[in-house]
Amino acid sequence: MTHTTTRQSDGTILLTPRNESHQSATILICHGLGDTSEGFSDVATHLASKLPFAKFILPTAPTQKVTMNMGMAMPSWYDIVGLDKRSNEFCEGIDASQERLMELVKGEMDVGIARNRIVLAGFSQGGALSLYTGMQLPAGTPPLAGIVVMSGYLPHESGFKITKGLEDTPIWHGHGSVDPLVKMNMAKESVEKVKERGATNYTLKTYAGLAHSVNPQEVSDVLAFLQTVLPPDESCRIKLKDPSEMSIKELKGAIAKAGLGRKALGFSEKREFIDLVRDYRLGKL
């Protein structure tokens, strides 16, 4: 296997290269309404097998009431009142979810992954959030490597403004021709609105006969896009601090982040923590 899979207590799934020091890119995948990170774990595992240098982060949305679904509580990146143009302006909670994605991007940049080696991706509501967030990241650094939107749309249009310098971010959008939920005309209108605001690199691909879902051909096309915008580049690998140079606090933090807390139970010597972190990075666990 090319990656180590970690499931965190908040529902986030991490697929990390078995040798952590080989990571040179990061791909975040956001699930759709009512789903969790598990919904796209199989797709992420397949993509990871073809992109051994990429770390995958699959967060789970907070549980909240969704107006469109009769007020039922479910994992949702923001409230959805309806999918008509007027209702799509009411997206309570989208700012918090946008901030969460931005923090995840910043966290990867803090360990040495450049923003142009990061992709935001998502399905349906998750794709909408990825588009909304990716084109409005803070100015001052390069655009993302790309954005992947599967069966998604542009949410909260009135609050959407592309950050200067991010106009040429590559956007790939796949959509089923018979999608009964996010209809094809909504996808086309989203493309038009994003382009009106300055986007210059937006591709929309239609899949005949596909409803609100993804199929093997679309996954293959997503992989091709990722391989184009994230080619292998060893010069972009993260720079990790040697475990022997880390403090106990840093070692415990690395162990917690990797979801290895149980393996460290009963440790009393610093050497034990060092060896655990080192073995994890070398893909021995």
Q: Write the pLDDT tens digit of every residue in 10-56.
A: 999 999 998 888 999 999 999 999 999 999 999 999 999 999 999 99
Query: What percentage of the chain exceeds 70 in pLDDT?
Result: 100
pLDDT in tens, 159-199: 999 999 999 999 999 999 999 999 999 999 999 999 999 99
Which tens digits make up the pLDDT trace of 106-147? 999 999 999 999 999 999 999 999 999 999 999 988 999 999
Tell me, yes or no, if 97 is annotated catalytic: no
Residue 223 to residue 230: CA distance in whole angstroms = 10
pLDDT of residue 219 exceeding 80, the answer is yes
Tell me what pLDDT residue 145 has. 98
Whether 173 is catalytic is no
Is 220 tagged catalytic?
no
Q: Does residue 222 register a pLDDT over 90?
A: yes
Per-residue confidence (pLDDT) for residue 140, from 0 to 100: 83
DSSP designation for 7: E
Helix (H, G, I), strand (E, B) or coil at 252: helix
For residues 1-8, average pLDDT? 87
Counting residues of the chain whose pLDDT is more than 90, the rounded percentage is: 86
**174 close to 150: Cβ distance less than 8 angstroms:** yes
| Cα(205)–Cα(218) distance, integer angstroms | 9
What is the per-residue pLDDT for 1? 76
By residue count, the chain amounts to 285
pLDDT band at residue 282, thresholds of 50, 70 and 90? confident
What distance in Å separates the CA atoms of residue 99 and residue 96, rounded to the nearest whole number? 5
Q: For residue 257, what pLDDT is reported?
A: 73
**Cβ(97)–Cβ(123) below 8 Å:** no
Please give the pLDDT value at position 95.
97
Name which residue leads in pLDDT, 55 or 87: 55
Which one from 37, 124, 130, 151 is the annotated catalytic residue?
124
Q: Which of 46, 212, 213, 279 is catalytic?
A: 212
Confidence category of residue 84, pLDDT binned at 50, 70, 90 = confident
Spot the catalytic one: 3, 130, 151, 179. Answer: 179
Instruction: Compute the distance between CA of residue 238 and CA of residue 168 in angstroms, rounded to an integer.
Output: 25
- Residue 54 burial (CB < 10 Å; 0-12/13-18/19+)? buried
pLDDT at position 130, please? 98
pLDDT bin (cut points 50, 70, 90) of residue 253 is: confident
Q: What is the pTM of this model?
A: 0.90
